[in-house]
């Protein structure tokens, strides 16, 4: 039996970027197979029951879908070279960056892909799924039809004419600004070695915001150290050191973490509340829909509505479990950090109707 893994994904896929960077930095042998329509039909859907990438095929012929589950599984099977910190503050911060990057940085990722001058590049990339061997102009023609479906998700995420100026200001003058400062003195989020938080970030910051032409040019111009970090994350020869000693979390990350609690956390708390209401209204249903209506959110002081993404709760449960499982004698130092971030009260959130993944579908636990 080969010890090599197979990653089914795509260069333009946000979450494939996360899984690929993890496998590279974990030093696991793998080959990447492009997810063409044929691969979806013959491999991905039959083995996972869903049409989502990436999917990781193990040497034991298992097919694992979802990047968080992929990383969890690989960390357990390959405990050498751990890439999820075990110390309480670094572990919690790593998980906070993962959920924020996976779910909230999706907003600028989708905006800069679909509302900027990335064409015909993006259409050609989508066309590769159906007609991988055809000339670029044919791929672009086919890809425009596929891409229109993904472009339709833009307003669902709350990306509207009202919020776009605030989204661009947040991404360019906050996200890139503070990451640029941080990566000017640190190779990775928590020191000289990547962690779970880095893998969360690399998804949107590589596939959409570095690789797509318009935001890629922007990143290289205003945040060259972020661009270098993206390249480092994808380099099989990048050298690793250690995470910062004494469970240190760099203060250069504090402005980003503060805004996570100020703007993203209310959306997570609202999702928990709305899903509880939905369950009470649908007591006989065990499967959880991917969306359940809309709720309000705020970005840069601008208010708008967006779809309620139920998957957010599953990811949030992991963050809260991480906090609640911290040893009592270590909790004070974590709470002190959280107080400085405006996040101590946020971590007291209680979820009564937990969800879990069964056969790649969310169900009530």
Concatenating the DSSP letter of every residue in 11-37 gives TT-HHHHHHHHHHHHHT--EEEEE--H
> 302-309 and 355-358 as β-strands: parallel, antiparallel, unpaired?
unpaired
CB of 275 within 8 A of CB of 281?
A: no
CB 365 within 8 A of CB 354: yes
Please give the distance of CA 185 from its chain centroid, rounded to a whole number. Answer: 24
Query: Domains of the chain by range and CATH?
Result: 5-77 (3.40.30.10), 88-116+153-248 (1.20.1050.10), 117-152 (no CATH), 252-364 (no CATH)
Of the candidates 271, 255, 223, which has an alpha carbon nearest to the alpha carbon of residue 341? 255
Helix (H) or strand (E) holding 55: strand 55-57
The secondary structure element, H or E, covering residue 91 is: helix 88-103
- Distance between CA atoms of residues 186 and 346, nearest Å: 28
0.85 exceeded by the pTM? yes
Specify the long-range contacts of residues 248-252, CB closer than 8 Å, at least 24 apart: 248/89, 248/90, 249/89, 249/90, 249/93, 249/190, 249/337, 250/182, 250/185, 250/186, 250/189, 250/190, 252/178, 252/181, 252/182, 252/185, 252/186
Helix 224-233, helix 213-222: angle, nearest 10? 120
Instruction: Quote the CA–CA distance of 79 and 85 in Å, as a whole number.
Output: 12
Per-residue pLDDT 10s for the chain (365 aa) are 578 999 999 999 999 999 999 999 999 999 999 999 999 999 999 999 999 999 999 999 999 999 999 999 999 999 999 999 999 999 999 999 999 999 999 999 999 999 999 999 999 989 888 887 778 778 888 888 888 888 888 999 999 999 999 999 999 999 999 999 999 999 999 999 999 999 999 999 999 999 999 999 999 999 999 999 999 999 999 999 999 999 999 999 999 999 999 999 999 999 999 999 999 999 999 999 999 999 999 999 999 999 999 999 999 999 999 999 999 999 999 999 999 999 999 999 999 999 999 999 999 98
Considering Cα of 32, then 28, then 191, then 92, what sign does the dihedral take? positive
Tens of pLDDT, residues 3-26: 899 999 999 999 999 999 999 999
* Tokens found for residue 265: 């956390």
Please write the tens of the pLDDT for every residue from 297-356.
Answer: 999 999 999 999 999 999 999 999 999 999 999 999 999 999 999 999 999 999 999 999
Angle subtended by helix axes 224-233 and 176-183, to nearest 10: 70
Q: How far is CA 290 from the centre of its chain?
A: 16
Q: What does DSSP assign to residue 174? A: I
Write out 312-363 in H/E/C secondary structure: HHHHHHHHHHHHHCCCHHHHHHHHHHHHHHCCCCHHHCCCCCCEEEECCEEE
For 146, the token pair is 């596929």
Hey, how many other C-beta atoms are within 10 angstroms of the C-beta on 47? 16
Q: Three-class SS of residue 6? A: strand
- What is the rounded distance in angstroms from the CA atom of residue 284 to the CA atom of residue 303? 34
Q: Quote the pLDDT of residue 178.
A: 98
Is there a contact between 132 and 36 (Cβ–Cβ < 8 Å)?
Answer: yes
Measure the N-to-C terminal CA separation of the chain; round to a whole number of Å: 36
Among positive and negative, which fits the CA dihedral 156, 158, 162, 163? negative
Select from 344, 348, 351 the least CA-distant residue to 273: 351
């Amino acid at each position: 039996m080969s010890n090599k893994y197979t990653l089914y994904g795509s260069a333009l896929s946000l979450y494939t970027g996360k899984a690929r960077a993890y496998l590279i930095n974990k030093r696991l042998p793998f080959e990447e197979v492009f997810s063409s329509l044929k691969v979806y039909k013959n491999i991905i859907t039959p083995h996972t029951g869903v049409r989502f990438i990436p999917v990781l095929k193990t040497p034991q012929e298992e097919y694992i879908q979802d990047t968080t589950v992929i990383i969890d599984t690989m960390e357990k099977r390959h405990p050498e070279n751990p890439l999820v910190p075990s110390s309480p503050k670094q572990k919690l911060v790593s998980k906070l960056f993962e959920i924020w990057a996976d779910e909230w940085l999706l907003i600028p990722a989708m905006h800069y892909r679909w509302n900027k001058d990335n064409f015909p590049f993006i259409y050609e990339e989508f066309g590769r799924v159906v007609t991988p061997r055809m000339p670029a102009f044919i791929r672009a023609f086919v890809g425009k039809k596929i891409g229109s479906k993904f472009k339709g998700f833009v307003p669902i995420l709350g990306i509207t004419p009202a919020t776009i100026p605030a989204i661009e200001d947040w991404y360019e003058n906050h996200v890139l600004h503070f990451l640029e400062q941080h990566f000017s003195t640190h190779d990775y989020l928590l020191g000289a070695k990547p962690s779970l938080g880095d893998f969360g970030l690399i998804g949107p910051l590589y596939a959409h915001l570095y690789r797509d032409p318009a935001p890629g040019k922007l990143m290289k111009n205003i945040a060259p150290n972020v661009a270098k970090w993206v390249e480092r994350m994808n380099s099989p020869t990048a050298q690793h050191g250690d995470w910062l000693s004494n469970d240190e979390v760099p203060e250069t990350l504090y402005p980003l973490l503060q805004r996570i609690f100020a703007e993203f956390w209310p959306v997570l708390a609202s999702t928990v509340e709305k899903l509880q209401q939905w369950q009470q209204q649908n007591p006989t249903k065990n499967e959880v829909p991917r969306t359940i209506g809309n709720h309000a959110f705020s970005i840069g002081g601008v208010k708008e509505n967006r779809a309620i993404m139920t998957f957010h709760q599953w990811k949030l449960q992991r963050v809260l479990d991480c906090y609640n499982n911290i040893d009592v004698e270590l909790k004070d130092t974590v709470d002190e950090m959280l107080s400085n971030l405006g996040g101590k009260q946020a971590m007291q959130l209680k979820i009564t109707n937990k969800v879990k993944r069964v056969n790649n579908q969310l169900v009530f636990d």
